């Protein structure tokens, strides 16, 4: 029995399978959800929730569908009941957005609560941590008329409207944990406290999320974290509670690994590590720092710290030295690869001038496709290819393959069902088109297994 089928049986309220033919979820489940979300109040005559969802997801693989595109897609599946574009426009309202939000949440929760891998096994798969969370945000450009709702950047001549998508990702089961679509003005610092932290988590985020209180929150929850040193962060000596002159301290030592306190009311204890980098890397960092300051030269102390790679972490020294901390933090790059897959293959650049409601529905439909591809397809198929063919499935190549059309989504979903005679043929196609090339350089999967 496949992991997908096992998970479906473990939660009867959720769909047993997905398809992009007539509907992406089982009809009985969609009917119940359409009623609870307010989308359906009586038996639909022309536009059923499942059919509208299927058309929306299928059309999103090709671009950003208009009301007319969706009406034509619905008519193609049921020529005798083709709706008008005005009817489609009326149905794409608040209740349908709520409907999609529930589906997105159910896909995420279903996979996280699945019974295919026991929680005890997950806790042992990465140094005792039950979850390894990486979080970052990506910015997508929207039509300019939505600037009042999503903000962006502007000058005296022009303005650009942007939205920011936050996406935490659990590296152990390779699953997206949640999403949020926010205004561009809501930066990572504001979004940091919104990530639910559990005991036994390891959190890997960049400096944009770092505050002393955020580290304190994670320690209080029983979780560990790793951050790069952030310019302006003050560290205190545990004995005297006096600020540490970090550049001076680094000049007197070849490496650094000591306990310090953060400069917050709780004086949160952390471990500060630093090691020198080669001259070329240091010069590139200084060049980048000068370019990003836009005419305001960085201080001498900041430029001096570019000679070092520095981290703060709550992981004890007995469990990880600097080399291991550096390697573990490198896993954070996985979320950047995921964002690259989205932006390269999920047609975010084709968002056109529509209302705010229609725009959020289009974005959430894309996120639903992305979550299905990442949480329901990539992990199980990667395990199959690794076990049967000793090949590694590339996330970038796999997302590109799925974006080719709904038939590829359907083949991937069908290949996970029991008794599908075409599964072997599909798996061979994935080996041919979607796996890492055989080479000496380690890929992400190799690095993960070496660390785990």
- Kindly write down the DSSP assignment for every residue of 273-317, as one continuous string: EEEE--HHHHHHHHHHHHHHTTT-PPPHHHHHHTTEEEEEE-S-T
pLDDT score of 407 more than 90: no
3-state helix, strand, coil in the chain (%, to 5): 50, 15, 35
Average pLDDT of the chain to the nearest whole number = 84
> Structure pTM?
0.85
Share of the chain above pLDDT 90, in %: 44
Tell me the β-bridge partners of 310.
274
Domain spans of the chain? Answer: 207-331
Q: Which pLDDT score, from 0 to 100, does residue 13 have?
A: 40
- Listed residue (401, 168, 126) closest to 411, CA to CA: 401
pLDDT at 113 over 50: no
Q: Which residues, 6+ apart, have CB-to-CB distance to 21 below 8 Å?
A: 54, 406, 410
Mean of the pLDDT values across residues 76-82?
A: 73
Render pLDDT for 155-206 as a digit per residue (tens, 0 to 9): 878 889 999 999 999 998 888 999 899 999 999 999 999 999 999 999 999 9
Range of weakest confidence among 114-128, 151-165, 174-188, 240-254: 114-128
- The reported pLDDT for the residue numbered 44 is 65
Place of tokens 């932006």: 343
Please tell me which of 39-43, 79-83, 111-115, 239-243 the model is most confident about, judged by mean pLDDT: 239-243
pLDDT, mean of residues 76-92: 82
The string of pLDDT tens digits covering residues 286-324 is 888 888 776 678 888 888 899 999 999 999 999 999 999
């Amino acid at each position: 029995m496949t992991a997908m089928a096992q998970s479906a049986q473990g939660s009867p309220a959720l769909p047993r399978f997905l398809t992009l033919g007539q509907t992406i979820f089982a009809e009985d489940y969609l009917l119940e959800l359409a009623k609870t979300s307010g989308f359906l109040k009586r038996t639909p005559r022309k536009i059923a929730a499942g059919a509208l969802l299927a058309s929306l997801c299928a059309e999103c693989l090709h671009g950003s569908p208009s009301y007319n595109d969706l009406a034509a897609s619905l008519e193609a599946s049921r020529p005798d009941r083709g709706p008008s574009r005005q009817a489609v426009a009326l149905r794409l309202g608040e209740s349908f957005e709520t409907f999609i939000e529930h589906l997105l949440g159910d896909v995420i929760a279903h996979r996280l609560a699945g019974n295919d891998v026991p929680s005890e096994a997950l806790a042992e798969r990465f140094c005792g941590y039950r979850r390894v969370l990486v979080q970052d945000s990506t910015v997508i450009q929207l039509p300019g008329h939505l600037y009042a709702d999503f903000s962006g950047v502007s000058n005296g001549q022009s303005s650009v409207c942007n939205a920011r998508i936050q996406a935490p990702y659990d590296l152990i089961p390779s699953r997206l944990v949640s999403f949020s679509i926010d205004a561009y003005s809501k930066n990572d610092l504001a979004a940091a406290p919104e990530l639910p932290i559990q005991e036994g988590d390891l959190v890997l985020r960049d400096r944009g999320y770092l505050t002393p209180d955020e580290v304190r929150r994670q320690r209080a929850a029983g979780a560990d974290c790793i951050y790069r040193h952030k310019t302006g962060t003050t560290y205190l000596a545990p004995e005297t509670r006096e600020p540490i002159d970090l550049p001076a301290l680094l000049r007197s030592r070849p490496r650094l690994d000591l306990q310090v306190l953060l400069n917050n009311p709780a004086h949160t204890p952390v471990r500060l590590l630093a090691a020198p980098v080669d001259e070329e890397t240091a010069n590139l960092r200084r060049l980048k720092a000068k370019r990003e300051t836009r005419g305001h030269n960085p201080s001498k102390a900041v430029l001096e710290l570019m000679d070092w790679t520095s981290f703060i972490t709550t992981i004890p020294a007995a469990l990880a030295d600097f080399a291991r901390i550096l390697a573990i933090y490198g896993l954070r790059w996985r979320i950047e690869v995921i964002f690259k897959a989205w932006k390269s293959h999920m047609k975010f650049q084709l968002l056109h001038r529509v209302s705010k409601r229609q725009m959020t529905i289009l974005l959430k439909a894309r996120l639903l496709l992305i979550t299905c591809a990442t949480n329901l397809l990539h992990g199980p198929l990667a395990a199959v290819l690794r076990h049967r063919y000793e090949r590694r499935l590339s996330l970038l190549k796999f997302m590109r393959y799925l974006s080719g059309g709904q038939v590829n989504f359907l083949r991937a979903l069908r290949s996970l069902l029991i008794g599908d005679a075409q599964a072997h043929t599909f798996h061979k196609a994935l080996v041919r088109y979607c796996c890492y090339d055989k080479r000496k350089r380690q890929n992400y999967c190799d690095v993960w297994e070496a660390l785990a």
